[in-house]
């Protein structure tokens, strides 16, 4: 298949299209300008995570705070950093002094066109309840960084899925704390 081959819509949904490029079928998000994920470690050294039911997996999933950019009329043209700030507060009740762009990457390039931009929340602190908007039922978890892996293992044993993007965020946190890194 030639790169850049035209996308054909096979079926259209309200929020996503089922598309084909050559012989390859995938899901394409509609009506948004990006996706953000936020890595927030509070002053107590805890990674801030969220947990919510996800229909696609038919179970609750632990994730980094994240969300869609420009998916509603009031957010048209919203910068990625502003969306990261909005989503962190909406989902967790945390605010931060600043947001530092970390990296971006494909979520699952074999099935979706999603590219997620990751931000680090600088000096995050809880100022509100979190829990998401009226369509969400989000639980906020604050897990000591040194215990994240064991905590996630225990959650999986309880039937809760773990979004692997947590490990991308955790890698950044641990790399920043390494003795060979000037940030740590």
Mark whether 14 and 79 lie in a shared domain.
no
Mark whether 25 and 89 lie in a shared domain.
no
The CATH number of residue 56's host domain is 3.90.79.10
Mark whether 142 and 170 lie in a shared domain.
yes
Question: What is the model's pLDDT at position 88?
Answer: 98
Question: What is the model's pLDDT at position 57?
Answer: 94
54-62 mean pLDDT: 96
pLDDT band of 3, cuts 50, 70, 90 = low
Instruction: Return the half-sphere exposure (C-beta side, CA atoms, 13 A cut-off) of residue 148.
Output: 27
109-114 mean pLDDT: 91
Report which of residues 156 and 77 the model is more confident about: 156
Question: What is the model's pLDDT at position 134?
Answer: 83
C-beta atoms surrounding 167 within 10 Å:
14
**Residue 106 counted as domain residue:** yes
Tokens 């829990």 sit on residue: 131
Structural domain that includes position 41? 32-176
**Number of domains composing the chain:** 2
Mark whether 137 and 99 lie in a shared domain.
yes
130-143 mean pLDDT: 91
Mark whether 8 and 76 lie in a shared domain.
no
Mark whether 81 and 43 lie in a shared domain.
yes
Report which of residues 176 and 119 the model is more confident about: 119
Mark whether 38 and 113 lie in a shared domain.
yes
pTM over 0.85: yes
Query: Is pLDDT above 70 for 107?
Result: yes
**Residue 83 counted as domain residue:** yes
Mark whether 169 and 110 lie in a shared domain.
yes
pLDDT band of 71, cuts 50, 70, 90 = confident
Mark whether 13 and 95 lie in a shared domain.
no
Question: What is the model's pLDDT at position 75?
Answer: 81
Q: Are 41 and 141 in contact (CB under 8 A)?
A: no
pLDDT band of 70, cuts 50, 70, 90 = confident
Question: What are the C-alpha distances in Å from 59 to residues 39, 71, 105?
Answer: 23, 24, 25
pLDDT in tens, 24-36: 999 998 888 999 9
**Residue 181 counted as domain residue:** no
Mark whether 18 and 109 lie in a shared domain.
no
| Average confidence score pLDDT of the chain | 91
DSSP secondary structure code for residue 156 in this structure: H
Mark whether 61 and 132 lie in a shared domain.
yes
Mark whether 111 and 82 lie in a shared domain.
yes
**Residue 182 counted as domain residue:** no
20/42 Cα distance (integer angstroms)? 43
Query: Is pLDDT above 50 for 182?
Result: no
């Amino acid at each position: 298949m030639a790169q850049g081959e035209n996308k054909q819509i096979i079926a259209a949904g309200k929020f996503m299209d089922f598309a084909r490029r050559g012989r390859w079928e995938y899901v394409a998000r509609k009506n948004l300008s990006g996706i953000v994920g936020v890595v927030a470690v509070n002053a107590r050294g805890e990674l801030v995570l969220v947990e919510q039911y996800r229909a696609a997996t038919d179970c609750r999933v632990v994730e980094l705070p994240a969300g869609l950019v420009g998916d509603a009329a009031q957010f048209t043209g919203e910068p990625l950093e502003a969306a990261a700030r909005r989503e962190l507060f909406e989902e967790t009740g945390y605010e931060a002094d600043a947001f530092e762009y970390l990296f971006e990457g494909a979520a699952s390039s074999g099935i979706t066109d999603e590219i997620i931009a990751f931000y680090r929340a600088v000096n995050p602190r809880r100022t509100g309840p979190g829990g998401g908007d009226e369509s969400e039922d989000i639980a906020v978890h604050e897990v000591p960084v040194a215990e994240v892996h064991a905590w996630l293992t225990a959650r999986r044993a309880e039937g809760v899925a773990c979004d692997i993007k947590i490990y991308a965020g955790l890698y950044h946190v641990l790399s920043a704390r390494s003795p060979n890194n000037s940030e740590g």
